[in-house]
Structure 1
Amino acid sequence: MPEWMFSQMMRSAQIKFSDHSILRIIQILGRLGNWRRVLQVIEWLRSRERFKSHKLRYIYTAALDALGKAKRPVEALNLFHAMQEHITSYPDLVAYRCIAVTLGQAGHMKELFDVIDTMRSPPKKKFKTNIIEKFDPRLEPDVVVYNSVLNACVRRKSWEGAFWVLQQLKLRNDQPSITTYGLVMEVMFECGKYNLVHDFFKKMQKSCVPNALTYKVLVSTLWKEGKTDEALLAVEDMERRGIVGTASLYYDLARCLGSAGRCEEALMQMGKICKVATKPLVVTYTGLIQACLDSGDIQSGAYIYNHMHQFCSPNLITYNIMLKGYLDSGMFEEAKQMFFKLLDNGNSISSKLDSKDKVFPDVYTFNLMLDACAAGKKWDDLKFAYSHMLKYGYHFNAKRHIQIVLDSCRAGKVELLEATWKDLARADRVPPVPLVKEMFRVQLERGNSAAALACVTDYPPAESQAFSAKFWMKLFVENSDRLSDGTLLRLLQEVSRVVTRNDSRILNNLMASCKEFLRTRSTKLDRVPRETALVC
C-alpha cells in the first residue's frame, strides 16, 4: 500500500480511535518493521482529528521503541525532540531508555551525551500547568542508559568512554552489572586492549558469575591472541559452571579452531551450535571456511567445504569464498573446476522447480575468474568466462572489464573486443573511448577501412577532444608497419565522402592526420634511395 493511501485511510476512516487502539497499531507496525507507517500514525496524531489522547507520552514512547527496533536513529531522535515540545509528551525514564538504546546501537555518541544532558537539565521550554507543584522532569541516567553508552563505545572503539561509564557508576555507588562488565570487555576487545579484557574478566568474577556474553568476548580475545587451547579451556570452564553458551560463542570457538588447522575439533562444535542456532547451517559452515582462508589455510577450508555437503548444500557465497580462496592460493585448476560446476547448474535447468535448488554464478564470480585469467594470461579461459558472463546477462562494466578486454586484444585475442562491441550495440550503449580506438585500429589492420570508419562516424561530439589530430597521427605512427598505403588511401576516400554529409570534428581531424601521415611516409620513402646513392 502506498504511503499516501495509508494516510488517506487514517484520515477518512469513520473510527474514533482510543489510546489503546493507537498503541496497538504502533506496536503491530513496529513488530512488522514498518517504521514509515509508524511516523504516519504520529503525524495523524498531531492533527488531533477525532482524537483526544490522555496517554500521549506512552504512544510516543511506543513509536520510539518501534523506530529503535527498525534501526532508525535519526527519525527516533527527531521524534524524541518533538516529545519535548509538550508537557503531556515530555520524556520519562522509559522514553530516555528507548532513545538511549537506539542511539547506542547506532554508535551516535555525541547525540547520546546530549540526551544524558537533557535528562539532568530542566525543560528548555516553559510549560503552563494547573498543578501547584513545579514541573520538574529531571532524572539521573540508570544502568540501561549507561550500558547504551557502552554500546556506542563498542561501535566507536572508544575505551575512554568505557572508563567514563565505570567512573559514573562509582560516583553513584552502583556496582557494575554482569551486562556492564560484558560490554566493557567488548569495548576493550574492539580497541585491541586484550590485556584489559582479561583484567575485567577477573575483576568481574569477584562480584558476579560470568555469563555467555562475557565468555564469548573472552574466547574472541584468546582467538585473536592465538591461544587456541586457552579458548577451548574457557568454554569447558563455562560448561562446568552450567552456563548455556550462545550460538555465536560456539561459532567463534569453531572458527578459532578452524583457523588453527584443527578442523576435526572445529566440526565437533557444530552439534552444539545446532542446538541453539537460529541461522541456517550453511551460514555457519561458510563462516568456518572463511576463518580458515583468512588464516591462509586453504586445505582446512577445502576440508570443511567437502564435509558440509553431508549436511547442507553450499550457497553462492560459499562458492565465491572458496573460488577466491583457490585463486589467492594459486590453485587455478581447482577454481576452474568449481567455476565449471556452477556453469553446469545453469545448463541442467529444465523447469522452474530445478532453479530453486541450483546455485548460479553471479557477477562477482565472473569477475574473480576474469581477473585470474587475465593475470595468468590464460586467454582461452578468459574468452570462455567472458562469453558466459554475457550469456548470463551480466553486461560489460567499463571500470571492471575495459583493461581486460584491451589486454586480450593486444595479445591477439580480439574475440572479447568484438563480443563487447556487439553487447554494447544490443544495449544501445555508447562504447568507451579506449574501446573505440582499439576497434578502429583492429579494423584498419584487417584492411576494412569502411568498418573502421563506422566506429567513429556516429560517435557523440562531446568526446571529440579524445580524437584530436595529434591522437590520430600517433595511432598511425605506432601502427605504421601494419597499415598499408592502400588501406589508408581507401580510408581517406571513405572519410572524404562522409565529411561532405557530416561535418564532424572527429572526422576532420582523422582526414587531416591521415593526409599528413601519407605525405610524411611518402617523403621518407623518396629519401631512402638518395641517401643510399650518396653512401655508395
Structure 2
Amino acid sequence: MLDMDQSCKLMKALFKNANNPRVAWYLFKRVLSSPSSSSSSSSTHSIPIITSILIGAKMHREIHELPQLILFSQPLYSAYPCLISLVRILAKAGHLDESVIQFKSLRSQFQEIPPPVSIYNLLLELSIEQNRVDFVKWLYTDMIVAGVKPQTYTFNLLIQSLCDSGCFEDAQELFNRMSEKGCLPNEFTIGILVRGFCRAGLTTQGLQLLNSTENVDLSSNRVVHNTLISSFCKQDLTDEAEKLVERMRKHHLFPDVVTFNCRISALCRLGKVLEASRIFRDMQIDEELGLPRPNIITYNLMLKGFCNQGMLEEARALFDAMKKKGSFMTLKSYNTWLSGLVRNGKLLEARLVLNEMVDEGIEPNIYTYNIMMDGLCRKHMMSDAKKLMTMMISNGVYPDTVTYSTLLHGYCSKKRVSEAKNILHAMIINRCLPNAYTCNILLHSLWKEGRTLEAEEMLHKMNEKCYQLDTVTCNIVIKGLCRSGKLDKGVEIVSEMWTGRPASLAKGNLFAGLVNEIHNVSNCFPDVITYSTIISGLCKVGRLDEAKKKFIEMMAKNLYPDSIIYDTFMYTFCKQGKISSGFRVLKDMERNGCSKTLQTYNSLILGLASKNQIFEIYGLMDEMREKGLCPDVCTYNNVINCLCEGGRTKDAISLLDEMMDKGISPNISSFKILIKAFCKSSDFGVACELFEVALKVCGHKERLYSLMFNELLVGGQITEAKELLEASLDRYIILKDFMYKDLIDRLCKDERLDDANCLLQKLIVKGYEFEYSTFVPVIDGLRKGGHKKQADELANWMMELTLQDRVKNKIYQNAKRIIHGTVDKGGRSDWQDIVHRDDGSGIALKTLKRVQKGWGQGSILSSQPKKNDSLDYDEYSG
C-alpha cells in the first residue's frame, strides 16, 4: 500500500513530467499497476493531475484507458470518487461528449450509488452552453432514476434550457412544480424565465410572472426590471415601460443608467429619437430627481439614433459635445458618426473625420474603413475606393471579406464586371477567402450582363472551392436562365431543388446539373423569391396555365405568396384585358392578408384603361391616395392614354399639369401619348408646344425628335417637318427612326427640289450614313427639270459614297468569311440594288450608268457619322 509519502512522490513526479506527457503516463500506469497499490485510495490525489496532462496533450486513447486502469487498481469505494473526479475534470475542460460517455459508463457500473448533485449541475450547465438538448434530457431523467434531489440551481439550468429551446410552456410548468420537489425559486429563476419570455416577445407573460412571485424578493433586482422595460420598448409598448419605471421608484428601486439606456436604445430603434432625446436631456440636467448620469453608452446610443434618422445637425452638436468631454470619444463613437455621415451622403466631411481620428491618436480599424468603402462604392466613386484600400493597407489594416465584397459590388453596380472579376482574383491571391455572398454578387452581374459562359464558369469554380450553395445562388441562376430565354431549364431547377438529386445533367441541362453538383445543395430549398421569379418568367411569355400550376405548387409546399406574385398575375390578366380575372386575384390577395401596392393599382388602372372605364379609374386613384400611396408616372401615363383614346385631350393636359405640380416628372412616354393624340386631331400647334416642354423635361432625345418629325410629316406639315429635320441634323441626332426618305420624296413631288437637294447635301456634309435610294427622286427631279449638271454631280456623289460602302462591305464580308467560314451569297452592293430597282425611275438609271465612266474620280467623301459629343444624347428610360 502506498503511504502518504509515496502519494506525494507520485504527484511530484507527474508535475515534473507535465511537459513530457508520455513519461508521466508511463509513471502513473506503473505505480497504479503495481501490486502494492491495489488496495490504496491515496492515488486519488493524482487523478486530477494525470487527467489534466492527458487532456492538454490530446491523448484521447489514454483518456479512454484511464477509467479501466482506475477500476483495475482500486477497490470500488476508492475507484468511485476517482471516476467522478475524472468526469468533473473532463467537463470543466469543455470535453462534453467524453465526460458524458464516462459518466454514463460510471452510472452503469455503480447503479446503486447516486452521484452528487454537483456533477449533474456541472454537466447540465455545459450541455446548455453547447446546446446539447439530448444530453440535458438524459441527465434530468437519470437524476430522477438515481433519486438525486435537484437543487434550485438545477432547476434554473433546466428552465434556461427549455427557454433556449422555445419550450416556454414546459419551462413555466417546471417552474410551478419546483415547490413539489422541495425547491423554492429565487431571483435568478425569475430572471431566467422573464428573460426567456421577453426574448420570445412574450413580455406580458414575463410581467405576470414577476407579479405572481410573492415568495421571492425582487425589490432589489434591477436586472429583471430592466429586461422587461427593454422588451416593452422594443415592442413599442412605451406606456407599459414607463409604468414599470414608476413602479421601480415606488419600491425604492431607483432606475440606473442601464434602465435608461434600455429605454433610449429601444426608442431609437423604433425611430422615436425625439422621445429618447427628452430622456437623455433629463439625465443630463435633473440631478435633483436622482436620475443617473449618462455614460459613454448613452451618448453613443443617442448619436446613432440621430444619424439613423438623418438628424445630422443634432448629431453634429452631440458629437462636438462628446469631443469637449474628451473621455467620451472612443473608436466606437467615431465609427458611429462616420456611419451617419456616409449614410447621409456627406462623404467629404466623413473623410475629414477620418483624418481627425488619426490626429487624435485613435487608430481606425477595419470596420472604420469598411464604412468609408461602402459610402464611396454607393456613390460609384470607384477610383477613390481603390485609393482608400491602398491607404488602409499602408496603415497596417488589411482588407477583409467585407471590404473586397463591397468593392466588388461597387464595380458590378457600374456594370464593370471585368474589373469586379479582377477584385475577386486579388481577393484570393491575398488569401482573403470570398464567401457565398461575394460570389453571388458577381454571379448575378454576369447573368445580368448576358455573359452566360462566364456565369457557368463561376458556378464551376464555386463547386471546386466547395462554397456552400444557398437558395440565393439558385435564385440568381433561375433568374438568369429566364432572362436568357432558357425558361424550361429554370423550371427544371425549381423542381429539382426539392428533390436534391436531379436527372437534368443527363438531359443536357448543364446549369441544373451544376447547381446540384455543388456541395450542400440539399439545403437549397425554393423560397417565395424562387417562385416569384419563375412565375414572372412564365407570365411574360404567355404560359399562364403553367404559372398557375407553380402557384398551386408553392401553396402546397406551405410557401405563401407575397404581393409581388399577386401583382404579377394581376398585371398579366389586366394587360390581356381580362379585368374580371384581375379583380378575382385582388380578392384572393386581400383574403390572404397581402396589402395592395402601387403596382397593384397600376395593373388595375391599365386594365380599366383598355376598356375606357375612366370613372372607375378615378375611383381607384382616390382609393390610392386614401391609403397613402402616391400615383407614379406609370399611373398617370395609363390614365392619360385612356383620356386620349376617349378624345378627352384637354383633361389629359390637365393631368399632365397635375403630375408636374406634384413633382412627378413626366417621361418620354407621357409626351408621346399626348403629342400623337393632338397630331391625330390636327392640333399641331399644341403638339409643338408639348414637344418644346418635353425637350426641357426629358432632354433632346432622338425619340422625341423622331416622334414629332414623323407626326408632322404624316399630318402633311411638310415645311415644319423639314425645319425639324434640319434642327435634328444640327444636333447630330441619330436618324434611325426618322422617315426622312418620305420627306425628300414628298419635297420632290411638290417640286421643292432645292429643299430636297439641300437636305441631301446636309446629310453628306454632316457625315451621316443613310439609304442611298434617297438620292433617286432628287436626281430624277433635277433631270426632268433640265438641271443635267446638278443631277450628274449628285449622281457622282452617290456613286462615290456607294463605292466606299462597297469597299467596307467587302472587308466585312471577308472578316465574316474568316470567322464563320461562309460566303455572302448576295454579293451585290446598295448601288446595284438601286440600279436594278423596277420603280420606273428611268432618268436616274440612265444618269447612274453614265457617271459610271468616271467611277473613282474626284474625292471620296467619308460616310462615317460624326461623333456625337452632345451631352443631351443618351439612352432614354421613358
Distance 1:192 1:345, change over 3 A: closer
Q: 1:105: Cα distance to partner?
A: 5.1
| Structure whose alpha-carbon radius of gyration is higher | 2
Alignment of structure 1 residues 92-241 onto 2, 5 Å: 92-104=470-482, 108-122=486-500, 135=520, 137-191=522-576, 193-207=578-592, 208-241=594-627
* Superimposed CA distance per residue, residues 132-163 of structure 1 (whole angstroms, 9 cap, x where no aligned partner): xx956343311111111122124322212321
Match of 1:243, SS state, is coil
1:421 aligns with 2:833: no
Residues 339-373 of structure 1 deviation map (CA, whole Å, 9 limit, x = unaligned): 32553687xxxxxxxxxxx85554347x5243144
CA 1:150 to 1:297, structure 2 compared with 1: closer, same or farther past 3 Å?
Answer: farther
2:740 & 2:481 partners in 1: Cα distance?
Answer: 42
CA deviation after TM superposition for structure 1 residue 79, in Å: 5.1
**Does residue 89 of structure 1 match 2:472?**
no
Residue 466 of structure 2 aligns to a residue in which SS?
coil
- 1:378 alignment partner, one of 726, 746, 750: 750
Helix, strand or coil at the partner of 2:595: coil
Q: Deviations over 1:226-251 (max 9, x none)?
A: 33333233222322333222222222
Aligned to 1:401: 774
| Alignment match of 1:441 (pick from 834, 846, 852) | 846
CA contact (8 A) 2:791 2:847 kept: no
Preserved contact between residue 469 and residue 524 of structure 2 (Cα < 8 Å) = no
Q: Distance in 1 between matches of 2:451 and 2:565?
A: 22
Q: Does 1:49 align with 2:423?
A: no
In structure 2, runs of 5+ residues without a counterpart are 1-385, 502-512, 807-829, 837-842, 859-878
Q: Deviations over 1:354-408 (max 9, x none)?
A: xxxx85554347x52431442572342433432332233224534x536545754
Answer whether contact 1:181 1:200 (CA < 8 A) is retained: yes
Q: Which of 217-226 and 305-314 deviates more?
A: 305-314
Q: Which residue of 2 aligns with 1:391?
A: 765
Does 2:719 match 1:336? Answer: yes
Aligned residues: 417
Structure-1 separation of matches of 2:468 and 2:689: 59
Distance 1:309 1:38 in 2: 42
Residue 65 (structure 1) shift: 3.7
CA distance in 2: counterparts of 1:250 and 1:122, whole angstroms: 47
Cα–Cα, structure 1 residues 126 and 299, in superposed 2: closer, same or farther, change >3 Å? closer
CA contact (8 A) 2:408 2:442 kept: yes
1:80 to partner: Cα distance? 5.8
Q: d(CA) in 2 for partners of 1:42 and 1:74?
A: 18
**Corresponding position of 2:831:** 432
* Aligned partners of 1:373 and 1:382 also within 8 Å: yes
Amino acid at match of 1:95: T
For normalisation by structure 2, the TM-score amounts to: 0.41
Pairwise CA distance, 1:42: 4.0
Letter in 2 for 1:325: E
Q: 1 CA distance for matches of 2:549 and 2:691?
A: 46
Q: Residue 739 of structure 2 aligns to a residue in which SS?
A: helix
- The AA in structure 1 aligned to 2:719 is K
Matching residue of 1:368: 739
CA–CA separation in structure 2 for the residues paired with 1:151 and 1:126? 21
Q: Distance in 2 between matches of 1:439 and 1:190?
A: 50
Q: CA offset at residue 270 of structure 1?
A: 3.1
**Which residue number in structure 2 is paired with residue 469 of structure 1?**
none
Counterpart Cα distance in 2 of 1:61 and 1:297: 50
User: Which residue of structure 2 lines up, in the alignment, with residue 492 of structure 1?
Assistant: none
Instruction: Please list, as runs of the form range in 1=range in 2, the aligned pairs for 1:214-363 lying within 5 A after superposition.
Output: 214-270=600-656, 273-274=659-660, 281=666, 283=668, 285-289=670-674, 292=677, 297-299=680-682, 303-307=686-690, 309=692, 313=696, 315=700, 316-328=702-714, 331-332=715-716, 334-341=717-724, 343=726, 359=731, 362-363=734-735
1:38 is aligned with what amino acid? A
Q: Distance in 1 between matches of 2:419 and 2:530?
A: 27
What CA deviation, in whole Å up to 9, does each residue of 1:26-45 have, x standing for no partner? 11212222122223444566
Counterpart for residue 26 of structure 1: 408
* Distance of aligned partners of 1:185 and 1:95 in 2 relative to their CA distance in 1, 3 Å threshold: same
Q: Distance in 2 between matches of 1:452 and 1:79?
A: 55
Unaligned runs of 5+ in 1: 1-5, 347-357, 459-536
Contact 1:104–1:150 (CA<8 Å) still a contact in 2? Answer: no
Cα distance in 1 for residues equivalent to 2:734 and 2:421? 38
CA distance in 1: counterparts of 2:579 and 2:833, whole angstroms: 52
Q: Secondary structure at the match of 1:363?
A: coil
CA distance in 1, matches of 2:634, 2:515: 49
2:799–2:855: 8 Å Cα contact kept in structure 1? Answer: no
- 1:453 & 1:82 partners in 2: Cα distance? 63
The 1:309–1:320 alpha-carbon spacing in structure 2 relative to 1, beyond 3 Å, is same
Whether the aligned pair in 2 keeps the contact of 1:29 and 1:35 (CA below 8 Å) is yes
Instruction: Determine the C-alpha separation between the residues in 2 that align with 1:136 and 1:36.
Output: 28
8 Å CA contact 2:531–2:550 kept in 1: the answer is yes
How far residue 422 of structure 1 moved from its aligned partner, in angstroms, is: 2.3
Distance 1:323 1:440 in 2: 30
> Match of 1:383, as an amino acid?
N
- Report if aligned partners of 1:251, 1:269 keep a CA contact under 8 Å in 2: no
| 1:181 to partner: Cα distance | 0.8
Q: Which amino acid aligns with 2:609?
A: W
